[in-house]
Amino acid sequence: MIMILSILCHWLIVLLLAPFFIGVIAKVKAFFSGKVGPSVFQPFFDLIKLFNKGAVYSKTTTWIFRAAPMVLLASVLILSLEIPLGVFKAPVQFSGDIFFLAYLLALARFFMIAAALDTGFSMEGMGASREAFFSCLSELALFMNFITLALLAHSLSLSHMIGADIPMSWSHVGPALLLIVASFFIVLLTENYRIPIDDPDTHLELTMIHEVMVLDHSGVDLAYVSYASAIKFLIFSGILVPIIIPFRTGDLVMDMLIFLGGMLGLAVCVGIVESSMARLRLNRVRNFLLIAFALAFFGFIVTMWRG
């Protein structure tokens, strides 16, 4: 019973927080381009609007196309249970849950790619192929980072890996953690389709990756996809922020505030990166992701060296 309650609580927090950070990024980008920009709660209004609409389906699509957004949202919601949010411990944690995390991400991605192919639209097929290629590379870096963190924490559970041992690791293998943070930041940008990998605001199908895959989704389906993207961003920053923060006060309120501040700071950072960089040419994205892998690998080596 308590278990169910805690899961529901966790979901509530996730669902409330996730669109907010997307709004923060949009606000920062607006600020840097000299505009006032929409309110930070705009994503909520957008989602509410979409939920009130009906969906239109093309005649060529099958059940896969309809199932994909639901699978996507369901898997990120399940994933979010593995992520500790500040003082709220993760309701689901077991040894090896990082593999569970990676495979759930892969499942969601598989369905999205299948749905994109299902439409029979050549642009979406192109986006699907790019998505498959880039996520393949970013997964490499992601796993390399997880391996290093697992080595540091002597555990295969995500909650332990980014848990209380991190401050100790900073004093011991600080340089390695720096590399992991840099590498993970690139992974975060990739997995959330942000500049310099992909431009979420672009309207040119040729250069899009993620946005082009969801061109055919409408109404509730689009709401599912957008909500899932927001939650995914929350998940990734929820992993990165505890790694970056090199201390824990022990005070519940204080820790929670620091965590939220960190999340906010990360969103602002992403906003700044988005406003100050240009999108990379598609053939250079690969090198960028390989650099992320090389950094993660380097971090791994330094950890082994110090360990």
Partner 1 sequence: MTTWIDASCIFIVFLSLGILATYRIVGIIKIFAAQSFVLGLVLIFLHAHNLSTRDIVISLGTMGLKGVLVPYILFWAIRHVSMRSEIKPVIGFGTSIVSGALLIAGAFWISLSLKLPGKPVSDLILPCSLATVLLGFMIMVTRTRAVTQVLGYLIMENGIFLFALSLFDVMPAMIELGILLDIFVAVFIMAIIVNNINEEFEQAPASVSRSKMGETF
Q: Say whether residue 273 binds partner 1 (CB under 8 A).
A: no
Interface with partner 1 includes 297 (CB under 8 A)? yes
Site membership for partner 1, residue 178 (CB under 8 A): yes
Of the residues 175, 200, 219, 265, which one makes contact with partner 1 according to CB under 8 A: 175
The b-or-e profile of 196-217 (16+ CB within 10 A means b, else e) is bbbbbeeeeeebbbbbbbbbbb
Q: Which of 5, 35, 286, 307 binds partner 1 (CB under 8 A)?
A: 286
Query: What tokens does 289 get?
Result: 């992701």
Q: Is 65 in the site for partner 1 (CB under 8 A)?
A: no
Question: Which range of residues in 41-49, 149-157, 184-192, 293-301 is near partner 1 by CB under 8 A?
Answer: 293-301
| Binding of partner 1 by 288 (CB under 8 A) | yes
Q: Which is nearer to partner 1, 114 or 181 (CB)?
A: 181
The span of 60-68, 121-129, 170-178, 187-195 binding partner 1 (CB under 8 A) equals 170-178
Among 105, 218, 213, which residue's Cα sits nearest to residue 158? 105
197 contacts: CB under 8 Å, gap ≥ 6:
134, 189, 190, 209, 279, 280, 285, 288, 289
C-alpha span between 60 and 71 (Å, rounded): 20
What gap in Å lies between CA 84 and CA 92, rounded to an integer?
A: 9
Q: Is 305 in the site for partner 1 (CB under 8 A)?
A: yes
Nearer to partner 1, 116 or 141 (CB): 141
Residue 65 CA to residue 62 CA, distance in Å, equals 6
Interacting residues with partner 1 (CB under 8 A):
174-176, 178-179, 182, 284, 286-288, 290-291, 293-295, 297-298, 301-302, 304-306
